[in-house]
Each structure stands twice: as structure tokens, then as C-alpha cells.
């Protein structure tokens, strides 16, 4: 019993700040303004089906781009000495020490029509580009902000791969491509699964990036929920229903990724 006492403050904290808000969201989602039970909040969500599709699509695109960039970066990091690895990891982590909102504002000044990017293109006698207030700008902002969340999990798994396993594959005559395909990539799957989850979940619920870089033209789930609680279309019951559905989508995605990870681990062990 005494061993469980240190966990009591954590349990109380979770009950107050995690469990209770979820219960309140569920209550609001299934009730009307007068407190009576209803499913109308979920029925009214059909109007916003394009927003769900757009949010999932942009989140998937951002996650795939982060994976395509983050995996090679993580792999290259493991090739350097420990000292160089620490320095490079510090450079990757450095932007995360800056406020999330300030980082997004910085990208606004870079991508806007009279921003740094177009000024540079003008100096090079190249045509200007119009990226701001587009879905491309939203994806770019997501990739920039969430790329470290892909790099660190993959790197932390790759750096722990026993070098003797790779050396054994080399002694058996395996080429570099086969070593990567048969040894390194399968062993790094847990990091890939964690990275995908850590990028997809916040990308699905983001609203600052889409508001500032998308100019409000690419409405995402986060923007929609904010509108129901803080915007002119104040309707916390509908906002709670949308939040609950988004929570279910996230949980299903996490469950699927965990199952995929378990299947890959079993395949490697066999």
C-alpha cells in the first residue's frame, strides 16, 4: 500500500485535468442548451464533412513529408560521433525553444507576397511565388513545426541498434542496401510508429498554423472547434461533439499504429 502512495498526486492530477474535461466534453456533446439528451449535435456535423476530409488529408501529407525528411536525417545523425550528434540534435531542437506562435509568425514574414522569399527571388531575377494563404503554406508550417517530433523518436531507436548485428550482416556478405532493408529499417519501426503518431495527432488538431499561414481559407478541425467555443458561431455543444469525434479518430489511428508496430516486431523476431 505504501508503494502506491507516491502515485496518488498523479492520479488526482489526471482525474482533475484529464478525465474530468473528457467527461464534460462528452456531456456537452450529447446534450442541448437546456440539458436534455440529443444526438442532433452529431447530425449537424454532416455540414462540416469537407473540413474533416481536409484536416485528415493535410495531416497525412504533413506526416508523410516529415517521415521522408526525418528518417534520412535520423539515419545520417547516427553515422557521426557522439559529440557531433549532440551538436546536431541541439540545432534541431533549438527552434523548439522559441514560442510556437512566434515561429509561425516568422514563416508569415517569409512567405507573404512582399516577404523575404519573394524579395530574394526578385534579387535573383526570378518570378515571385504566391504561397501564403494556401494549403501548401499550411503543410509547410506543419512540417517545420512537427519535423523534430519525427526525428527524435526514430533517432533514439536507431542509435540503440547494436552495431554487432550490422557487423554480423556484413560478415555474411550482405550489401549496404540489404543491411538497411533487412536489419536497420525493421529494427527502427518502433521509432517510425512513434514519430508518425507524434506528428499526425497535433497536425490533425492544429489551428494557429491554418489560421495564420492559410489565411482562414483552409478551415481545419482545430479552427472549427475554436469557432464553436470562442468565435462568433458560439455553440459549445456542437464544438464538444466535433472534439469527441476527433478524439475517437485520433484514438483509432493510435490503435492502428500500435497494432502495426506489434506486427512488425513479431515479424522481426521470427
Among 211, 36, 187, smallest CA distance to 133 is for 211
Q: Which residue has the higher pLDDT, 84 or 163?
A: 84
Domain encompassing residue 144: 48-222+246-269
How does residue 267 score in pLDDT terms, banded at 50, 70 and 90?
A: low
Residue 96 inside a domain? The answer is: yes
Asked if 153 and 198 touch (Cβ cutoff 8 Å), the reply is yes
Write the CATH number for 214: 1.10.3720.10
Among 252, 254, 239, 205, smallest CA distance to 48 is for 239
Q: Averaged over 80-90, what is the pLDDT?
A: 92
Residue 37 pairs with which residues in a beta bridge?
31
Nearest-angstrom CA–CA distance, 270 and 266: 6
Task: Summarize pLDDT for 86-97 with one digit per residue, the tens.
Answer: 999 999 988 888
Nearest-angstrom CA–CA distance, 1 and 23: 29
Q: What is the pLDDT of residue 173?
A: 86
Q: What is the pLDDT of residue 113?
A: 87
Asked if 239 and 229 touch (Cβ cutoff 8 Å), the reply is yes
C-alpha cell at 227: 469557432
Residue 8 inside a domain? The answer is: no
Residue 60 inside a domain? The answer is: yes
Asked if 237 and 31 touch (Cβ cutoff 8 Å), the reply is yes
Residue 99 inside a domain? The answer is: yes
Q: What is the pLDDT of residue 114?
A: 87
Give how many domains the chain has, as a whole number. Answer: 1
3-state secondary structure of 46: helix
Among 221, 258, 256, smallest CA distance to 241 is for 221
Q: Averaged over 206-217, what is the pLDDT?
A: 85
Task: Summarize pLDDT for 90-128 with one digit per residue, the tens.
Answer: 999 888 888 888 899 999 999 998 889 999 999 999 888
Among 206, 210, 205, smallest CA distance to 250 is for 205
Residue 209 inside a domain? The answer is: yes
CA distances from 58 to 113, 136, 190, 241 (A): 23, 9, 24, 22
Sign of CA dihedral 210, 216, 244, 14: positive
Residue 131 inside a domain? The answer is: yes
Question: What's the DSSP call for residue 7?
Answer: G
Residue 10 inside a domain? The answer is: no
> Which range is most confident: 24-33, 97-106, 205-214?
24-33
Asked if 65 and 73 touch (Cβ cutoff 8 Å), the reply is no
Q: Which residue has the higher pLDDT, 270 or 206?
A: 206
Residue 43 inside a domain? The answer is: no
Amino acid at each position: 500500500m505504501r508503494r502506491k502512495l507516491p502515485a496518488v498526486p498523479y492520479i488526482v492530477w489526471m482525474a482533475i485535468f484529464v478525465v474530468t474535461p473528457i467527461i464534460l466534453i462528452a456531456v456537452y456533446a450529447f446534450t442541448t442548451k437546456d440539458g436534455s439528451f440529443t444526438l442532433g449535435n452529431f447530425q449537424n456535423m454532416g455540414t462540416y464533412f469537407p473540413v474533416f476530409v481536409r484536416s485528415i488529408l493535410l495531416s497525412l501529407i504533413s506526416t508523410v513529408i516529415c517521415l521522408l525528411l526525418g528518417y534520412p536525417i535520423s539515419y545520417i545523425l547516427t553515422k557521426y560521433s557522439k559529440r557531433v550528434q549532440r551538436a546536431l540534435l541541439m540545432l534541431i531542437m533549438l527552434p523548439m525553444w522559441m514560442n510556437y506562435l512566434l515561429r509561425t509568425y516568422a514563416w508569415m514574414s517569409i512567405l507573404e507576397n512582399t516577404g523575404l522569399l519573394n524579395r530574394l527571388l526578385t534579387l535573383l531575377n526570378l518570378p515571385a511565388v504566391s504561397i501564403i494563404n494556401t494549403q501548401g503554406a499550411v503543410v509547410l508550417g506543419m512540417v517545420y513545426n512537427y519535423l523534430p517530433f519525427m526525428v527524435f523518436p526514430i533517432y533514439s531507436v536507431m542509435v540503440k541498434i547494436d552495431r554487432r548485428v550490422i557487423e554480423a550482416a556484413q560478415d555474411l556478405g550482405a550489401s549496404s542496401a540489404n543491411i538497411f532493408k533487412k536489419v536497420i529499417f525493421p529494427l527502427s519501426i518502433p521509432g517510425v510508429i512513434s514519430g508518425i503518431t507524434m506528428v499526425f495527432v497535433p497536425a490533425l488538431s492544429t489551428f494557429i498554423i491554418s489560421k495564420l499561414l492559410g489565411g482562414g481559407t483552409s478551415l481545419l478541425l482545430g479552427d472549427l472547434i475554436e469557432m464553436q467555443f470562442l468565435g462568433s458561431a458560439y455553440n459549445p455543444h456542437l464544438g464538444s461533439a466535433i472534439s469527441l469525434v476527433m478524439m475517437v479518430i485520433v484514438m483509432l489511428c493510435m490503435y492502428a499504429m500500435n497494432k502495426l508496430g506489434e506486427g512488425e516486431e513479431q515479424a522481426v523476431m521470427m
